[in-house]
Amino acid sequence: MLLALVSCRPIQFPLPATDRGNVTSPLISDTSQWQALADHAAATAGPDGQPSAGLSLRELFATDAGRADAFTYAIADLTVDLSKHPVSPDTLSLLVGLASAAGVEAKRDAMFGGERINTTEDREVLHTALRLPAGATLEVDGEDVVGPVHEVLDKMSGFADRVRSGEWVGHTGQRIRHVVNIGIGGSDLGPLMAYRSLTPYVHPDITAHFVSNVDPAQLLDTLADLDPAETLFIVASKTFTTIETISNAKSARAWLLATLGDEAAVARHFVALSTNAEGVAAFGIDTDNMFEFWDWVGGRYSMDGAIGLSLMVAVGPDNFRAMLDGFHQVDTHFRSQPLAENVPVLMALIGVWHRNFLNRPTLAVLPYCQHLDRFPAYLQQLDMESNGKRVVLDGTPVSYETGPIVWGEPGTNGQHAFYQLIHQGTTVVPADFIGFLEAAEDVGGQHDLLMANMFAQAEALAFGKSAAEVEADGATGALISHRTFPGERPSTTILADKLTPSVVGQLVALYEHKVFVQGAIWGINSFDQWGVELGKVLAKAIGNELTSPEASELTHDSSTNALINRYRAYHGR
Ligand code: F6P
């Protein structure tokens, strides 16, 4: 049983005094631990600035036969091989020192305990409560939050079972065969990614669809083959004010009513997932058909609660709960393991090493699993919306890089597109390979081939092919340089037996906590997203300017004014 009684006072997390000496700066770069890492990077850099002296991958592997074992870690059902990174035991211990100096453990405990670590929105950050087992207790401001979490889960389960069994029918009495999740960002990417990941677990009579873009093409393409009588819309929006979602939901309602005719049909064909009961009611959805979550769940951290309803309908409550258990296993590891053996912490620290000390701006996520095709997109929001920040908690601008640019595609497609740059380009791109020992479904032994490619890519990136080897193969002249692979390109390999619901939860929680630790080290708020606001405000104003019949004086820059005028002229306005 977990019991945390917490206050709701905003907190600033000053660095421990012992680590700061006389320095009053809130920046981690002003600690001796940061400086020690900078010195270590300088001392081990070759003439090209890349890790050399004792930290080249070739040397690290040549001098330590046990390196793979020593740098491979287990977390729940995942095996995480960190050996192909330019880190020695000394590097790791300096990095762990940095995590201590940043107060990562105290910050982690504050998050799990329900303190208001999202200081700019004055909110707790409690997505980990969404996967606490029934019977656990977590009190925030004197109120238990685990009971309500399980009440919603039970309500979701009852609803999902009724849809899956055919007991919940549409307005004309037909069973629901298509579920359309209308949401964007965190109200789309998580359930979409998990739905695709768990394809083999999907109910044979139910197909889920995901509409996010305000571009009408996506809604129209999705609805083109659907019968309104068999379609259930799940309107997913934490705020229930997001213009893309509300616009798509209104168009979907019009599409439904154009065929079914009767306003009463809305109650059988629309449910909502939100924190905003008023907004849901104002839209015309019965709040009995609303599945609730709370302000203390960030949008990009919400797929394991009500926002996962489309997934639960598709894969069933048992599989959804198995996924939650996977999340919780990783939470438990993150919460209990010492920093030096804590896998999300180690992944975060290696990311900081690349980003801040080796000047590597991006992270490629390369799942060798087609069912994880939306995992990179999911991680883009998780990581870039969380850690794409430029000031620390007290508003001081950072003096160092923060969140990396996250990108990727499933292997082996990427191999025939962008891997050339990863192998021989001028930018070193750390990569995360993710693969499975067993295929979800195999045909003709193709899974062996898939995994052979994954292992081969990680090996080729790390060890390359030297000019001497190329020459020994018979190349001459300029061709020798063209065909040389420098190697020394780092990667993590994450393996699991199979992509099960639990493993989906484990993978997501692993990255959630990795992102958390990096934000904690950089001293930023990983849980707000002010950076998306300005575009929304401007879009609203420009929307009026595009459509207004009366031309008003435009006061933007000359480029924006010209673009708006061109659009208006094209439409004869
Ligand atoms: O892009 C900004 C954002 O607020 C995301 O953080 C969020 O996931 C998304 O919009 C959707 O928000 P909502 O669930 O409130 O519609």
Q: What is the C-alpha to C-alpha distance for residues 17 and 102, in angstroms, rounded to an integer? A: 11
Nearest to 357 by CA among 70, 101, 92: 92
Q: What is the pLDDT of residue 122?
A: 97
Q: Are 317 and 160 in contact (CB under 8 A)?
A: yes
Q: What is the C-alpha to C-alpha distance for residues 216 and 181, in angstroms, rounded to an integer? A: 15
pLDDT per residue as tens digits for the range 176-186: 999 999 999 99
Choosing from 242, 283, 380 the residue with most ligand 1 atoms within 8 A of its CB, the one to mutate for a pocket test is: 242
Task: Indicate if the pLDDT at residue 13 is higher than 80.
Answer: no
Q: What is the mean predicted confidence (pLDDT) over 476-490? A: 97
Phi-psi region of 103 (alpha: psi -120 to 50; beta: other; left: phi over 0): left
CB of residue 187 inside a 6 A radius of ligand 1: yes
Q: Are 251 and 219 in contact (CB under 8 A)?
A: yes
Q: What is the mean predicted confidence (pLDDT) over 443-466? A: 97
203 is catalytic: no
Report the C-alpha dihedral over residues 156, 157, 161, 163, rounded to 10 degrees.
10
Task: Place 517 in a pLDDT band, splitting at 50, 70 and 90.
Answer: very high
**Whole-model pTM?**
0.95
Give residues with Cβ within 8 angstroms of 71, minimum separation 6.
81, 82, 83, 85, 87
Q: How many CB atoms lie within 10 A of CB 390?
A: 11
Q: How many CB atoms lie within 10 A of CB 268?
A: 21
Q: What is the mean predicted confidence (pLDDT) over 406-423? A: 97
pLDDT per residue as tens digits for the range 231-283: 999 999 999 999 999 999 999 999 999 999 999 999 999 999 999 999 999 99
Q: What is the C-alpha to C-alpha distance for residues 178 and 325, in angstroms, rounded to an integer? A: 27
CA distances (Å), 539 to each of 102, 248, 325, 534, 571, in order? 38, 17, 41, 8, 18
pLDDT per residue as tens digits for the range 294-328: 999 999 999 999 999 999 999 999 999 999 999 99
What is the atom index within ligand 1 of the atom nearest the CA of 186? Answer: 8
Q: What is the pLDDT of residue 141?
A: 86
Q: How many CB atoms lie within 10 A of CB 357?
A: 23
Task: Indicate if the pLDDT at residue 22 is higher than 90.
Answer: no
Q: What is the pLDDT of residue 441?
A: 87
Q: What is the pLDDT of residue 385?
A: 98
Whole-number percent of the chain with pLDDT over 90: 92
Phi-psi region of 284 (alpha: psi -120 to 50; beta: other; left: phi over 0): left
Beta strands in 162-288 (DSSP E): 178-182, 207-211, 231-236, 270-274
Q: What is the C-alpha to C-alpha distance for residues 252 and 123, in angstroms, rounded to an integer? A: 33
CB of residue 186 inside a 6 A radius of ligand 1: yes
Residue nearest atom 9 in ligand 1 by C-alpha distance = 185
Report the C-alpha dihedral over residues 442, 447, 450, 455, rounded to 10 degrees.
150
What is the atom index within ligand 1 of the atom nearest the CA of 300? Answer: 8
How many Å is the maximal CA-CA distance in the chain? 78
pLDDT per residue as tens digits for the range 520-543: 999 999 999 999 999 999 999 999
Residue 140 is inside which H or E element, if any? Answer: strand 139-140
Strands 78-81 and 72-75: antiparallel
Beta strands in 421-546 (DSSP E): 431-436, 491-496
Helix, strand, or coil (residue 116): coil
Structure tokens that stand for 167 in this block = 């007991």
Task: Indicate if the pLDDT at residue 221 is higher than 70.
Answer: yes
Provide DSSP, 267-318: HHHEEEEES-HHHHHHHT--GGGEEE--TTS-GGG-TTTGGGHHHHHHH-HH
225 CA → ligand 1 middle, Å: 28
Q: What is the C-alpha to C-alpha distance for residues 498 and 434, in angstroms, rounded to an integer? A: 11
Listed as own residue / partner, the contacts of 544-553 with beta carbons closer than 8 Å and 24 or more positions apart are 546/573, 547/573, 548/573, 549/573
Task: Place 53 in a pLDDT band, splitting at 50, 70 and 90.
Answer: confident
238 CA → ligand 1 middle, Å: 7
Structure tokens that stand for 45 in this block = 């850099």
Report the C-alpha dihedral over residues 425, 428, 429, 431, rounded to 10 degrees.
110
CB of residue 276 inside a 6 A radius of ligand 1: no
226 CA → ligand 1 middle, Å: 27
238 is catalytic: no
CB of residue 137 inside a 6 A radius of ligand 1: no
Rounded to 5 degrees, φ, ψ at 80 are -120, 110
Tally of CA atoms within 13 A in the half-sphere of 291 that contains its CB: 31
Task: Indicate if the pLDDT at residue 41 is higher than 90.
Answer: yes
CA distances (Å), 448 to each of 133, 433, 442, 452, 546, in order? 37, 16, 9, 6, 54
385 is catalytic: yes
CB of residue 529 inside a 6 A radius of ligand 1: yes
Q: What is the C-alpha to C-alpha distance for residues 4 and 140, in angstroms, rounded to an integer? A: 8
Q: What is the C-alpha to C-alpha distance for residues 309 and 159, in angstroms, rounded to an integer? A: 9
Task: Place 23 in a pLDDT band, splitting at 50, 70 and 90.
Answer: low
Q: What is the C-alpha to C-alpha distance for residues 44 and 55, in angstroms, rounded to an integer? A: 6
Helix, strand, or coil (residue 121): coil
Residue 542 is inside which H or E element, if any? Answer: helix 533-547
Task: Place 8 in a pLDDT band, splitting at 50, 70 and 90.
Answer: very low
Q: How many CB atoms lie within 10 A of CB 345?
A: 28
Strands 405-407 and 362-367: parallel
Q: Are 402 and 515 in contact (CB under 8 A)?
A: no
Structure tokens that stand for 209 in this block = 């669809």
Phi-psi region of 395 (alpha: psi -120 to 50; beta: other; left: phi over 0): left
Burial class (CB in 10 A: 0-12, 13-18, 19+), 518: buried
Q: What is the mean predicted confidence (pLDDT) over 102-119? A: 97
550 CA → ligand 1 middle, Å: 32
530 CA → ligand 1 middle, Å: 11
